Chains A and B, each alone.
Chain A
Amino acid sequence: MNEDALLDARVRRGLQALPMPDEQLTAAALEEVTRGRPAPRRPAPRRPWHLALAAAVVVALLVLGPQLLRALLTDEEPEPAPSPGGELRGTWTRTLDGAGDPAWDGPWTIGFADGGVLTLSPPRALVAGTDGAAYATSGAQVRVDAFVNGACNELPPGTYAWSRSADGLRLTAVDDACAPRVELLAGTWTEQSP
């Protein structure tokens, strides 16, 4: 056992004998256990919270610094988070039959795209205010504002439960006061081939 190892063993034993190893007691114990021989040159004792705080700040700067600097130095808006949607994303088709407004009958295509964009292609010749629609998912539910400037004027967006199966995409109305939108959306949609 070398000199340093012997010193460590003495320090450890001495500290274990103390009931409350606070700062003053530890200093006194160190002095006691090392008495009789010159203390080796060691770095001055550091306060652990300083080290932890400094380390945390450095880590935070390393992690967040580039983003903060980008926000400060550029006019770019941060990239939008990809809208959740998972398996809902895609293009789906369905043929509506027996709608309250016969002009709505026929083949429809619906697209759940990136950025929360909901595209709707109505049957030929129908102008139903399909532009500018959006969707937002929350778990197994999706909110849609389609037709807010058309058939669903002055009505709030609708909420639908969605699920995928071998048959396609199934939408079930949870809360929607707009009857034409329910007629169109609620049902099973077939995935459009790419």
Chain B
Amino acid sequence: MRPCAVAVVLVVALAGLGALAAVRLVGQRSDDRADRSGSTWTPQTCPADVEVEVVPEHTCGWVSAPLGDSTQQVFVVVVEPPAPSDRSPILETGTDLGMAPDYAGLAPIAQRTGRRTVIVDLPGTGHSVPSLDCSDAESLGDAAAGSSALVEAIGTCRDRLAAEGVDPGLMTPQHSAAVLLAVMDAVGSERWVLMGHGTTGATAVEVAREHPDRVEALVLDSAVHVHDGWRARRSALLRRVASACAADVRCARRHGDVLARWREARRRAATRPVDLEGVPLDRELLDRAVRWLVAPVSSGPAQLPDLLGEAAAGRRGPVLDRFATALRLAPPLCVGVLPKCVTREQVVLGAVLSGVCPTAAGREPYVAVCARWGIGEQAADDDAVVGVPTLVLHGELDPYATAAEASAQVRRWVSGAHLVVARGRGHNVLGDQCARSVRNDWLAGPLDRAPLLPTCVDEDVDFP
């Protein structure tokens, strides 16, 4: 053989080997799973916000997933555990409805569980393209909720998206399940642990329902959001916090009777409401303040007596100051409406509507906006997930669903799920180290056993 021919053969062989190895090294396989969904994985340099927030070893990339007649580019961050692991990776569906994931808060899951963790920007949110960002509507601010201006801005956004060939109706939790499956195919593992934080958990449930063979386990944190029945939940919540405060010497001395503070706050809200930068703290807004404060793990039920004390006294203190700031910064339909509401930059209103309208289009405050967004209530799939080990964590004092409501919903979703109710906690209990230890231990052991419950699960509200 001539030398040049030898060289050419060698070069071709080397190139082939290199290409195949590169495909394997980024986790992509050209097997039948990838062929099935037609998804592809494209590595990319991580954007600045990911680099700022994520400390452990990580990579970023795009998954091309089908969206009707076109495709969408789904952004994912892959976080590696400290040591290589052959255990099924975790697919993390995000932080909560309509929000870009809190990458910093989710990245430690890889170390805590010893599993590779893939964080997905669900369709329409974060870096995923197309975005359901409706900046004109979002910039109207909290006060626009219920106004014709908001409905009009939502309609304008909807029309713009339609002109761009984007159908928000294809970005509901049910449709987003296909996107998660595309990610599972493209990143290249047969079996996965699906982990849903907050209301994004519904998407993980859909995947488990359709493809139980691909799901090693399902972990849901505060995944149930009930849109009606607030008054009953409020009464139970107040009684429970009042009882816990009475049993805590410091809290009782500082706040006295919490139920009495609540009644005073309600009375003042009806007669002489506290001014929050031009917005009166009326009864409706007081209810929203309670939900806004109690839900997040960063505040929680422990701060409720402080809120009621300030509202009853008609005096803005640290809690009402923070509430006023949230009202000023957040988009409409967010503060005290969504379980997690941070800033305009993190909440994508269009994604919220695509997520919530299938279950709440007939309820306020969504009726007019969901109608204009073009998504009505959709019949729920009655088939429960079968054969997938499932751990559901729920806060006893979650203002968006009581433990009983969560239990009922979980039974409809998954057959044989283990429900762990964290005493004295609000929404998103995995923000608490105790609940994380329950999850980590359960995932480390045989998944057919019930989770072990440490004593901290029964600890009551920890008042400051």
Q: What residues make up the interface of A, taking CB atoms closer than 8 Å to B?
A: 46-47, 50-51, 53-54, 57-58, 60-61, 64-65, 67-69, 71-72, 75-80, 83, 114-117, 127-136, 143-145, 148-150, 153-157
Contacts and interface: CB of A to CB of B under 8 A. Distances in A.
Given A57-B14, A127-B434, A131-B112, A50 B82 contact: no
B297 interface: yes
Nearest to B16: A68
B23 to A, nearest CB: 9
Contacts of A61: 10, 13-14
A133 B108 contact: yes
Given A71-B21, A80-B57, A156-B104, A116 B52 contact: no
Given A46-B3, A57-B11, A116 B55 contact: yes
Contacts of A79: 84
B24 interface: yes
B270 to A, nearest CB: 34
Given A61-B13, A134-B56, A153-B298, 9 more contacts: A51-B3, A64-B14, A64-B18, A77-B85, A83-B57, A117-B111, A148-B104, A148-B105, A149-B108
Interface string B25-66: 100000000000000000000000000111111000000000
Interface string B104-135: 11011101100010000000000000000000
Smallest CB-CB A-B distances: 6 pairs: A115-B82, A132-B108, A57-B10, A132-B112, A145-B55, A71-B21
A145 B85 CA distance: 22
Contacts, number: 127
A116 B105 contact: no
27 contacts: A53-B11, A57-B7, A57-B10, A61-B14, A68-B21, A69-B17, A78-B84, A117-B82, A127-B433, A132-B111, A132-B436, A134-B56, A134-B111, A143-B55, A144-B55, A145-B55, A145-B56, A145-B104, A145-B107, A149-B108, A149-B433, A149-B436, A153-B297, A154-B105, A155-B104, A156-B52, A157-B55
Contacts of A68: 17-18, 20-21
Nearest to A152: B104
Contact of A72 (B20, B53, B432, B434): B20
B440 to A, nearest CB: 8
Contacts of A71: 21, 24-25
B83 interface: yes
A76 B7 contact: no
A116 B57 contact: yes
Contacts of A144: 55
B7 A116 contact: no
**Majority SS at the chain B contact face:** helix
Interface residues of B, number: 46
Nearest to A113: B82
B86 interface: yes
Contacts of A64: 14, 18
A153 B434 contact: no
Interface in B416-442: 431-434, 436-437
A146 B312 CA distance: 37
Contacts of A136: 55-56
Contacts of A143: 55
A130 B108 CA distance: 11
B108 A131 contact: yes
B4 interface: yes
A168 B20 CA distance: 48
Contacts of B6: 54
Nearest to A79: B84
B456 interface: yes
A53 to B, nearest CB: 5
A135 B55 contact: yes
A75 B55 contact: no
A153 B53 contact: no
B10 A153 contact: no
A47 B3 CA distance: 9
B226 interface: no
Contacts of B25: 71, 78
